[in-house]
Every structure is written in structure tokens, then in C-alpha cells.
Amino acid sequence: MQTSDKIDLNDYNEESRDEEAEESDGDDLIPSVEEVRMWTRDDIVQFKESARASGGKLTVGHGETITVRVPTHYRARCICYEFATDSYDIGFGLYF
């Protein structure tokens, strides 16, 4: 499902981690990373139907690895993705 197909951010429940941020001495060249945010849908069945309807279903076989390349914008600040599994047997990683 494409980002433009999303209904509204209010359709998601926001969750956040309560981790203490490390203090910086001010000499770092890399800007600090914002607190992790996660949105989940209440109805996983609705998400799966929506993904199927827009051609967003991908089946990965046992032991297979796939790479999905997604174009980014240099001013982007968030990474948004959605996935679901029936058997809770998926590993997921982001590389940038």
C-alpha cells in the first residue's frame, strides 16, 4: 500500500518507548535522533484487506530473503512502513 493510500494518522494508535536519552557533550557531528514512535492499527484484518486490494501483498517463502528498495527524500524525517504476518515468523530490518 502506498503512503498516499493511507487514510489518516488518526486511524493509528501512537506508542512510544520510555528510554532515557544519552547526554551529548556538544561535540558530536551527528544530530540527535528523535524518540522512537510507533503507530499500530486496531484492526489487522482491515489492514490485510487494504494491502491485498492495492496489490501490496508479498509472500516470502521459508528461508528466503527479499530486499525492497524505497526512494527517499533528502529532507525526510520519518520512516513509515507497515507489515503483517499470520504466524509471527518474520524478521525485519532497515538499512540506510
Residue 73 has pLDDT above 70, yes or no: yes
pLDDT tens track for 43-52:
878 888 888 8
| Separation CA 80–CA 88 (nearest Å) | 20
Instruction: Put residue 63 in one of left, alpha, beta given phi > 0 → left and psi -120 to 50 → alpha.
Output: left
End-to-end distance of the chain based on CA atoms, in angstroms?
Answer: 21
Q: How many domains does the chain have?
A: 1
Q: What is the pLDDT of residues 79-94, one digit of tens each?
A: 777 777 777 777 777 7
**Structural domain boundaries, residue 89:** 1-20+28-96
Range from 8-12, 48-52, 53-57, 79-83 carrying the lowest mean pLDDT = 8-12
Q: What is the dihedral of CA 38, 41, 46, 51, to 10 degrees?
A: -10
